[in-house]
Each structure stands twice: as C-alpha cells, then as structure tokens.
Chains A and B, each alone.
Chain A
Amino acid sequence: MSRESIVNVVLMLGMLAVPLWAYSADEPFIITLTTRAAILAIAGVGLNMALGQGGLVSLGHAMFFGLGGYSMGILASHAQTYTPLMTWPVVIEGTSSMPVIWLLALLMSGIAALITGALSLRTSGVYFIMITLAFGQMFYYFAVSWPAYGGDDGLSIYVRNQFPGLNTLDPIQFFAIVYGVLLLALTLAGIIARSPFGLALNAARQSPARVEAVGISPYRLRLAVYVLSGMVTGLAGALFADLNRFVSPSMFSWQTSGEIMVFVILGGVARLCGPVAGAAVFIALEHFLGGLSEYWHVYLGALLLVIVLFARGGLVGLVAGQRHAHD
C-alpha cells in the first residue's frame, strides 16, 4: 500500500469517525457540518476528474452544481404542492424520492456538460476558462430571472426527500447516504484514473499531438471526462439542496465554481482524496475561523497561497509526498 493510499484511508476513516463521535455525543450540528463537507467533497471529486486528469480548468462547474440543486428543488416543490410539473404532452408529477431526483440531476447536468463541453473544448487555456465561466453565469442569470421557481429569492423545500429504508430526517442517516455517494464517486474517479481512458487523458494533458499520433482524439477524451465530471458535480448539487432544503441562484454563481476549485487545489489537484481534504479543511476553517472573524476568507487566502507556492501537490501531496499524481 502506497503512502498516498494510507493517507486516503485515514482521511476517509476520519470523515466517518467525526459524525459517529458527534452522534454518540449528541452533537447533530457537527454531523450536519461533516455532511456538508462530504457533499462539497463530491463536487470537488467531480471537478478533479476534469481538472486533475484532463487539465481542464473549468470556472463553470457551478452550472452543474446548480442544475443538480434545481433538479431537486423543482421536483420536490411540485411534490410538496401536489401540482404536476407539466401536463402536456405528458403529465409529469413532482417527486420526493431521492433516487429519482438523483437520476434527473445526473441527466440534466450530463446533457448540459455535453452541450457546453462540445463548444468549450474547441478552445483551450484562458479561452476555455472564460467560456466555461460565461456558461455558468448564463445559468445564474437565468435562475435569477425565473420567478416560477423563486427567482432571486431561491426556492425553499419544507420536507426532506426520501431514501428507501432510511429516515433522511435523521442527520446520521442522511450522512450515511452522502458518505456512500462520496465513496462511489471516489471509486469511479479511481477506476477512471487507472483505466486506459484515464491514462490516455493524462497523456493528452501532457501532449495532445502525441496522443493523436497513437490514434486517440484528445477532444473526445476531454469531452467524455467533462461530461462525467459535470454529472458527479450535479449529483453533489442535488444532495446539497437536500441538505439545506433550499436552492438559490447562488448555486450557479462563479463564486461557487471558485470554491469548488479551492477544495481541489487545497487538497491536491489529481490526488484522489484531494477534494476530501480540501473540503474538510475549508469547512473547518469556515466554522472555527468564521466564529472569530467575518473576514475568515483572508486566512483561507493565505493558506491557499502557501499551498500553491510551497506544496504543489496540495495537503495530500504535502503528507503523501510527490509521487504519482493518480496513486
């Protein structure tokens, strides 16, 4: 077992131990805080697929996060008001079933990623960053001006959606669902990193021309990973909306894209559990430093600066050392 694998196991066990301790100590707020970190880690794992493996610096991943959130918000709001989503040409009812909501979140973010990726990936470098940012902001302004679902004020959901066999209103059971999804997302990311697809993607990041010379289209590789990445981030958005029982246009904003990127850079770009470490530290700083000062982002900025300057492998790289990026 490599050093990074050990770090990954410790991180995941740590994320499991905190809510278990909080459960025994009757601290439901800590469980919710850890759940929030786990959901943001899922979003980070999604972005890390595109950023770490494909070298795609996307500033538009909030688009998928928001689409996942609004998929949940729209379906659940119709379920709670007993009004159909649409009546023509077919009647579609709302639902409070988490698996159904997740499917829609995956589908919507996948379609959005396919369309925006097909256009964005024709550019590279700073143009790719700007075009993804522009797509994200398009969705943001659309959500702001969509009064049917709350517009600028967002949309509140008064019930927690249901998962078969579990009481999702119980914080520890909801955490178990999120933790399970995080494990699945990490497994998918790990499989991709080691597969011929992931290796070719990694190679295309280093030299697209050389990859073409062995008969692989870098564009298709990148589009495929961009879609997968968007879907995972979309799923995180649906869970985030469920946790807060609220969706708002801020889920689409460029600040959200930036925060997801901060989790990845803080934890370690292309490191499997980098986003887990990044999201956990972010939430911890937000909680502890946020209580001391409303300017806690200054400290976060300083930490990010130190990581970028002195620990290119992020927090995971700092502990595990600089070896294979996809260990």
Chain B
Amino acid sequence: MSLLSLTNVATRYGASQALFDVSLTVNAGEVVALMGRNGMGKTTTIKTICKMLPVLSGTVHFAGQDLSNEPSHRVARLGMGLVPEGRRCFPNLSVHENLVAAARPGQWSINAVHQLFPKLEERAGQSASLLSGGEQQMLAIGRALMTNPRLLILDEATEGLAPLVRQEIWTAIAQLKRETGLAILVVDKSLKELSQVADRAVMLERGCTVWAGKTDQLDDDVITQYLGV
C-alpha cells in the first residue's frame, strides 16, 4: 500500500478552482518528482496534501488514513514534513531555536541535523533572519526533519540558490534517500538533478495529472510536451 495516495483530487483558492484531477502515489522509501510548468498546480497540490487548502473532491490518504477531515497540524503529526516554497524559517528565532521548536521524538535529533548540514551547527546561535538563502534552506529542511517525518515534501527547495549551494542541497537529498530510506516528494525545476535522485515522476498540466512513470521513461517527447524545454 502506498504511503501517500491522491485520487482525482480537486481544490480551489476561494471561488477559483486550481486543481481539477490530480492523482499520484508515493511509496515508502521512494523519491517522487512532481513536475510541470509554472502555474500548473504543483505547489497547490502540495498545499492540498498538507491540508492548507480544502479537498473539493477526490481523496487524499496518508499511511492508510483518509485526510479529508484532518486539520493541517494533525496531518503533519501523522508524519508529513513540509519544506515550503520560499524557505519560511521563523525569523525571530535562532537556528537552534527553529530546530527545537519543531522537534518531536524519533531518530532525527539536533545532532543528526548538524551531521547532515554542518553549517547549521556553526550558525546555531545566529538569528534565522541573518542566514544566507542556502543556509535558510538547510534550516527549513532540518526543521522538517526534526518533526521526524515519514514523508518529506520539498517545494522548490533549490529555487533562487547559487549553483554550489544547490549542489549541496541535492547531495543532502540524495544522502537522505540513500541512508535513511525516507519517502520524499520533491518539486523542482532542475530536470537533471531530479532525474538523478527521483525514482518516479508525475507531470501536472492545468491542474490535472497528465503523465506518471519512472524517471528513466522521461524521454524528450514528454519533456518537450509538458515542460516545454
């Protein structure tokens, strides 16, 4: 049984419908890439999974549980760790405090996060608002890991970062997959890195799932048709 499954999900922002028919699955230990051009519904799908937006129709199941009536904080407690678009750390807290505020018991501790991102240990006492973009992204991932999730959701984790920092983030994601077997749903525009790290990909267009398959099946036709590159 899939860890996460969306079946024919639709949602809206107020009166404006944004998703029409999204279906996808993520299995335990699997990395799935959610792809599509700008404005096709990737972030909206993630917000719907995390119950930041209502499910208009269709179903969202996580670990065998129907999330229809669950508020977003309870969804997160079920084991869904979100790294939101734009990092969004708590700016008034220090790096250490950002991690402590989110902590829940499990294999991920402050030390484990420091091992994954040694820069966070160096900056432990510094205010999160004073970190560079890359460090804030590391902190956002570390904060999500401190909740000890079963599924990590990364929304545009490398957007706007310098190439070297992006590489550092991708290395960390690959390390997470290799060493922890954590299920990961990742949204990103870096096709090359996604192809290397993801097992499967799901393509969205105008709020609908239009393609799903293994990343090695992503040929030029699919990429040109749905990503326009």
Contact = CB atoms under 8 A, between A and B. Distances in A.
Interface residues of B, number: 29
A203 B101 contact: yes
Interface in A177-221: 196, 199-200, 202-203, 206-207, 209-218
Interface of A: 196, 199-200, 202-203, 206-207, 209-218, 324-325
B127 to A, nearest CB: 8
B140 to A, nearest CB: 10
B76 A212 contact: yes
Dominant SS among interface residues on chain A: helix
Interface in B138-169: 143-144, 146-147
B82 interface: yes
Interface in B180-227: none
A213 B155 CA distance: 13
Given A211-B73, A213-B72, 12 more contacts: A196-B100, A200-B102, A203-B92, A210-B84, A211-B101, A212-B52, A212-B72, A214-B82, A214-B147, A215-B73, A215-B77, A325-B92
B52 A209 contact: yes
Given A210-B90, A213-B84, A325-B92, A199 B71 contact: no
A207 B76 contact: no
Contact of A213 (B50, B93, B94): B50
Contact of B147 (A199, A203, A215, A217): A215
Task: Indicate the member of A202, A203, A212, A215 with the most B CB atoms within 10 Å.
Answer: A215
A229 to B, nearest CB: 20
A207 B104 CA distance: 19
B88 A199 contact: no
Contacts of A196: 100-101, 103
A212 B103 contact: no
4 closest residue pairs by CB, A with B: A215-B76, A199-B101, A214-B102, A215-B77
Contacts of B103: 196
A66 B143 CA distance: 42
Contacts of B74: 215, 217
Nearest to B51: A212
Contact of B76 (A202, A214, A324): A214
A120 B31 CA distance: 43
27 contacts: A196-B101, A196-B103, A199-B93, A200-B101, A200-B102, A202-B97, A203-B93, A206-B92, A207-B88, A210-B84, A211-B73, A212-B52, A212-B71, A212-B73, A212-B76, A213-B52, A213-B82, A213-B84, A214-B101, A214-B102, A214-B143, A214-B146, A215-B102, A215-B104, A216-B76, A217-B73, A218-B73
